[in-house]
Amino acid sequence: EAEVAQSPRYKITEKSQAVAFWCDPISGHATLYWYRQILGQGPELLVQFQDESVVDDSQLPKDRFSAERLKGVDSTLKIQPAELGDSAMYLCASSLVDRASDTQYFGPGTRLTVL
C-alpha cells in the first residue's frame, strides 16, 4: 500500500539554527498538508498545497517558517531560525482532489527537538 514518506524521522538542533523537513506524498495526490503536533495536543494545520499553489497558510508563522512544493509533488518545510517552542512532531499528509474521496493519509512524522 502506498504511503506518505517523510524524512528525517528525528531531528535535534540548537536554537537559532535552520532545519528542513521533506515530504513525498502518495503518487497522484494533488493536495499536500503540513501539520505541527505539540506533545499532548492534536495536530494543527500549518499549510495546505493544491499542486504547487498554497491554499491555506493562515497558521504558518511566516517570519520563520516557509514551505514550498515547487513541482507539485514533494514538499519541504523549513524553519529559520528554530526556537525552543518549535519542538514538536511535524506531520505531512496528502489526499486526492476528489470530493468523493478526501481521506487524508498521514506520514510517520518528523520529531523535532530544539535545544
Q: Which residues are near another protein by CB under 8 A? A: 4, 31, 40-45, 48, 50, 55-56, 58, 91, 93, 95, 97, 99, 102-109
Please say which residue, 12 or 18, places its beta carbon nearer to another protein.
Answer: 12
Give CB contacts under 8 A, 24+ apart, made by 101-110.
104/33, 105/3, 105/4, 105/26, 105/29, 106/4, 106/35, 107/3, 107/4, 107/5, 107/6, 107/23, 108/6, 108/9, 109/6, 109/9, 109/37, 110/6, 110/7, 110/8, 110/9, 110/10, 110/11, 110/21
Please say which residue, 81 or 111, places its beta carbon nearer to another protein.
Answer: 111
Q: Least separation, in Å, of the C-beta of 16 and another protein?
A: 28
Please say which residue, 18 or 38, places its beta carbon nearer to another protein.
Answer: 38
Q: Least separation, in Å, of the C-beta of 50 and another protein?
A: 7
Please say which residue, 19 or 93, places its beta carbon nearer to another protein.
Answer: 93
